Structure formats: structure tokens, C-alpha cells
């Protein structure tokens, strides 16, 4: 489903009526909101009022993303983690902003895919004909680990 | 004979050597690793597409995020072949084999256009919203 359609779907489920067009004045009763719809309605209208991580409906990762603003939460986390992993960087103009090995066009997900296909760090280094070092691959894996951990447990920052 | 000049993105590792070995008369492949950095380091998407157009190379990539036909419409580059799903090397070679076996009629149409290459088909997006689908 396209993101815009997904947002529209959520708004529809939450009982939020889209603005009627000037040509076609729609005046129908809003559908009964479901539990999911109610939660989404609150988040869409007032994100700060929701206690993220405690809702049975919205998981922590989505909540963290919504809390920081649509689509910006994970981007900010990706940038922040680059400070901890100097071999990784993000740039809007390289691979569309995907975290990647610094100075190369190899993204962290690509490293994970190569690991899945080849099975070891040494095999990845050999596959890239030594143009990528084992240290770079390990940093990419550590980055992916940290990203997952922090995205799924945003409360870690409070410790 | 149609000989494809292909520029292999870094995320596909050493695929260029494999392609030159398997299809010496049908493909001339170079790796983005081998581009000499000048005032560009050729890691940026736009730089890569620009050099592909200048040198008439078809960019072959598994980057699904930035290489979009809306961003790089047909006929504004040397050609882009994109493979969704980050496939393994044997799978990439299998897809390319199917594409090559589809014949020169289709291979010619890849130049300057945007192609999605999957296991089942190749979809070539051309100018004026023309779409050619090659079923394998």
C-alpha cells in the first residue's frame, strides 16, 4: 500500500473525514472508530499526548518514529549512530540517504544481504576483492545491531 | 550483434569480472570501483547517472531506494537496470541470462531506458509512458 493511502486509511479508520470538495458536499456520519482507530486518531491529532512504548496497539519502533515526526525519527537515529560507528555515514545524495560504508556505494542493508547469502565476513571481503575491509563489514553489522536495538527500545537513551 | 556496455554498481561486488568472463561478446562490463575519481568520487547517485550517460554505460544496480524512474526519467541517462530484493550473485546471473536470451530486440530497448529486472520478467519503461514487458 502506498504511504499516502495508508495515512488516508488510518484517518478513515479513526473516523476523520476528509475535507469535502467544493463540487461535492459530502455529509455522512463518521463510522464507529475501532480501538486501533481511536489510538491513531489521538496520535495524528496530538502526538505528544501518547505515552509511547506502553500502548498495546502501537509498537515502540513506530511510536518512536511518530514521536519525532513522520519519517524523521529513524533518519535522526541513523545520523546519530554514525557518530558511534565512524566507518558508516549517511548522505541524502548517496543511495537516497541510506546508511552506507563511508566513501563507497555499499549500504548497511547490502552488507546484511551479502552476509545472508555468503555466510561470513571473510567471504564478503573476498567477494568485494579486498575493496572492503573486514573492519568495515563488522562496523556495518554493529551499526545494524545498534539501530535495531535503539529503534525497538527507544527508552535506552534515558539510562 | 547487440553488445551491452554495463556499469556495475559497487553494491553488486565483483559482478563485472563474472559478466565479462561469461558473455565476452555480449557484455562489456566495468565496475564503479574502477572509475577514476576526479572532482567527483562517483558515490553520489547523480554523478553516477551522469557519467553513465556521458560514457554511454547502462547502470546495473540493486539499489532500490534512490534509483527511481521518477527521479531519473527515461532518456535522461544511459540506461538503468534495477533489481529489487537484493538478490544473491547466482540469482543476479540467472536473471541476466534470461534477459540476454530474450534476444537483441529487447536488449536494444534497454539503452537509455529504465528497466526493472525480476525473476519472472523485465519491465522496460520508455519515454512517453511506453512500457515493454518481457516475460521469461
ipTM of the assembly? 0.90
Task: Looking at the complex, report in whole angstroms how far the Cα of residue B13 sits from the nearest Cα belonging to chain A.
Answer: 5
Domain that holds residue A106: 71-158
Question: Taking the model in full, what pTM does it have?
Answer: 0.72
* Residues of chain B contacting residue A93, judged by C-beta atoms under 8 Å apart: 44-46
Q: Most B CBs within 10 Å: which of A95, A130, A132, as the mutation test of the B interface?
A: A95
Number of structural domains found in chain A: 1
CATH number where A101 lies: 1.10.10.10
B98-111 residue pLDDT tens: 999 998 889 999 99
Residue A122 lies in a domain: yes
Q: How many CB atoms are closer than 10 A to CB A146?
A: 16
Q: What is the pLDDT of residue B35?
A: 85
Domain limits for position B34? 4-135
Q: What is the pLDDT of residues A82-120, one digit of tens each?
A: 999 999 999 999 998 999 999 999 999 999 999 999 999
Q: Please check whether residue A13 lies inside any domain of the structure.
A: no
Closest CA to A75 of A1, A147, A159: A147
Q: Give the CATH number, domain containing residue B129.
A: 3.40.50
Instruction: Provide the grid cell at B41.
Output: 568520487
- SS3 labels along B46-62: HHHHHHHHHHCCEEEEC
For chain B, how many structural domains are there in total? 1
- Is A107's Cβ below 8 Å from some Cβ in B? yes
User: For residue range B6-52, what is the model confidence (pLDDT) as tens digits?
Assistant: 999 999 988 999 999 999 999 999 999 988 877 778 889 999 999 99
Structural domain contains residue A81: yes
Amino acid at each position: 500500500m502506498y504511504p499516502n493511502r495508508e495515512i488516508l486509511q488510518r484517518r478513515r479508520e479513526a473516523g476523520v473525514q476528509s475535507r469535502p470538495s467544493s463540487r461535492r458536499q459530502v455529509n455522512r456520519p463518521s463510522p464507529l472508530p475501532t480501538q486501533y482507530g481511536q489510538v491513531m486518531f489521538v496520535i495524528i491529532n496530538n502526538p505528544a499526548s501518547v505515552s509511547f512504548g506502553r500502548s498495546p496497539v502501537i509498537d515502540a519502533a513506530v511510536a518512536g518514529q511518530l514521536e519525532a515526526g513522520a519519517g524523521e525519527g529513524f533518519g535522526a537515529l541513523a545520523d546519530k549512530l554514525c557518530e558511534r560507528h565512524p566507518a558508516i555515514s549517511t548522505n541524502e545524495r548517496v543511495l537516497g540517504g541510506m546508511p552506507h560504508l563511508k566513501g563507497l556505494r555499499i549500504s548497511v542493508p547490502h552488507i546484511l544481504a551479502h552476509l545472508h547469502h555468503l555466510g561470513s565476513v571473510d567471504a564478503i571481503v573476498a567477494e568485494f576483492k579486498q575493496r572492503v575491509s573486514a573492519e568495515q563489514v563488522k562496523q556495518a553489522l554493529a551499526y545494524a545491531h545498534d539501530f535495531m536495538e535503539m529503534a525497538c527500545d527507544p527508552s535506552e537513551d534515558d539510562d | 550483434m547487440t553488445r551491452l556496455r554495463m556499469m556495475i554498481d559497487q553494491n553488486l561486488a565483483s559482478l563485472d569480472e563474472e559478466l565479462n568472463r561469461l558473455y565476452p561478446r555480449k557484455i562489456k562490463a566495468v565496475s564503479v570501483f574502477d572509475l577514476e575519481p576526479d572532482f567527483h568520487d562517483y558515490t553520489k547517485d547523480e554523478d553516477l547517472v551522469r557519467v553513465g550517460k556521458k560514457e554511454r554505460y547502462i547502470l546495473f544496480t540493486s539499489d532500490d531506494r534512490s534509483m527511481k524512474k521518477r527521479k531519473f526519467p527515461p532518456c535522461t541517462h544511459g540506461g538503468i537496470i534495477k533489481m529489487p530484493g537484493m538478490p544473491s550473485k547466482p540469482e543476479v546471473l540467472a536473471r541476466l541470462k534470461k534477459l540476454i536470451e530474450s534476444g537483441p530486440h529487447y536488449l536494444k530497448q534497454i539503452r537509455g531506458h529504465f528497466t526493472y529486472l525480476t525473476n519472472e520478467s523485465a519491465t522496460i519503461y520508455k519515454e512517453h509512458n511506453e512500457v515493454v514487458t518481457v516475460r521469461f
